[in-house]
Amino acid sequence: MRSLSFDWVLFLLGLALSISGLVYVYSATWEAGDTPGVFFSLVEIKQIVWLVIALVVHHFVRRVNWGLRPESWLWFYVPVAAALALVLAIGASHGMGANRWISIGPVDIQPSEFAKLAFILILAWLFSREGMKPDRAYLTALGVLLSLLALVLLQPDLGTAMVFVVVFFVMALFTPVRRRLILATLVAFMLCGIFAWQFLFYEHQRNRIKAFLDPKADPQGIGYQINQSEIAVGSGGLTGKGFLRGTQTRGGFIPVIESDFIFALIAEEYGFLGCLYVLTMYFFLIARILAISRDVQSNYERYICYGASAFFFFHVFVAAGMTIRLTPVTGLPLPFISQGGSSLMTMWLVLAIIQSLYFNSRRDFRALRMRR
């Protein structure tokens, strides 16, 4: 019966993006002088293993009834807050002085990726709680947001902090909370952002924003990465230069091309049509989640769908936009595509939960039809 209520459209969209991501990561990490007989690099092998694990986890997690609210939102909050605090204590740095990973043997786990999903579940729980006034639920959610922001900004991880803020405000807009309260919070965040720019941001974070605001600022320094990305995107044309034929990619002109700037590789090797393919897949993925949100029976489930949609949209908007100077460089991964096991696992966990909600909606629909 459960197999009849499996959303194949949602699953196949995620799978198509993930398999495409393997191709793009392979291209990003391929070297002309690679060892003969060795087809995949270590990075590629890790990504394949992560995808297999993610699909297995997705299979089991979707069978859990995520439409049932736990007794307390602390079930989501405590493990995530503890993991983020642990990162500050023993976290490993992979460059730029950011301690975001916990190393377990050959595996690096990034708790902030899983925290994004937990945050969506926390907000859905608070905003849908019966007996709690909307404004009180909002202020409680705001307190959760501020505590998680403090933990990720200390790493520092500005990209994840931005995801938290955007998801918070998008989900809040679907609640009966007074709009004046939301607006006042938004203004307060903007003022805090100005203060943070002056006194709290790290030098590399300010440099990224300076490079975004002034394309000509230090083209061989802080503006180098994004300038090279724009060259790659512009040189791809309509159909691109072809698989493994990107000159910017092959020449190593764009750092972390396999993760942060993988959309630039797509544009250079596959052109406008390749970018259109990827963005269209994301459009249908988000549209499908929103369609499911209309069929679920509870506000808790509906808020999860809203949060997941905002989560995917913002990641795509920033990850693609920063390659053409539409947004500042933040290091957010392109969903299902960018290299990174924690990110890939989180994306598939989100889909697993949405699949569970879809099953609930179909089950309720069948029950209603039988009563008639």
Which residue spans within the chain are E strands per DSSP?
92-93, 99-104, 107-109
Q: pTM for the complete prediction?
A: 0.91
- pLDDT tens per residue across span 129-172: 888 899 999 999 999 999 999 999 888 888 999 999 999 999 99
How far is residue 5 CA from its own chain's centroid?
26
**Taking CA 239 as the corner, what is the angle to CA 233 and CA 38, rounded to the nearest 5 degrees?**
80
Q: Which domain holds residue 167?
A: 2-371
- 364 pLDDT more than 80: no
Cα-based distances in Å from 179 to 94, 146, 172, 303: 41, 20, 9, 18
Query: What's the mean per-residue pLDDT of the chain?
Result: 87
Name the pLDDT band for 1 (thresholds 50, 70, 90): very low
Task: Tell me how many domains the chain contains.
Answer: 1
Rounded-to-integer distance, Cα 250 and Cα 31, Å: 8
**Dihedrals φ, ψ of 200, to 5°?**
-115, -30
> Comparing C-alpha atoms, which of 181, 159, 350 is closest to residue 256?
159
> Comparing C-alpha atoms, which of 212, 238, 249, 208 is closest to residue 98?
208
Angle subtended by helix axes 262-295 and 341-371, to nearest 10: 20
User: Which residue is it, tokens 């972390």?
Assistant: 256
Range of lowest pLDDT (2-6, 51-55, 85-89): 2-6
Long-range contacts of 106-110 (CB under 8 A, 24+ apart): 107/341, 108/341, 108/342, 109/341, 109/342, 110/340, 110/342, 110/343
- pLDDT tens per residue across span 31-81: 754 554 446 778 888 999 999 999 999 999 999 998 887 888 889 999 999
Rounded-to-integer distance, Cα 333 and Cα 282, Å: 14
For 259, the enclosing helix (H) or strand (E) is none
User: Which residue is it, tokens 């069929």?
Assistant: 295
- Helix/strand/coil for 285: helix
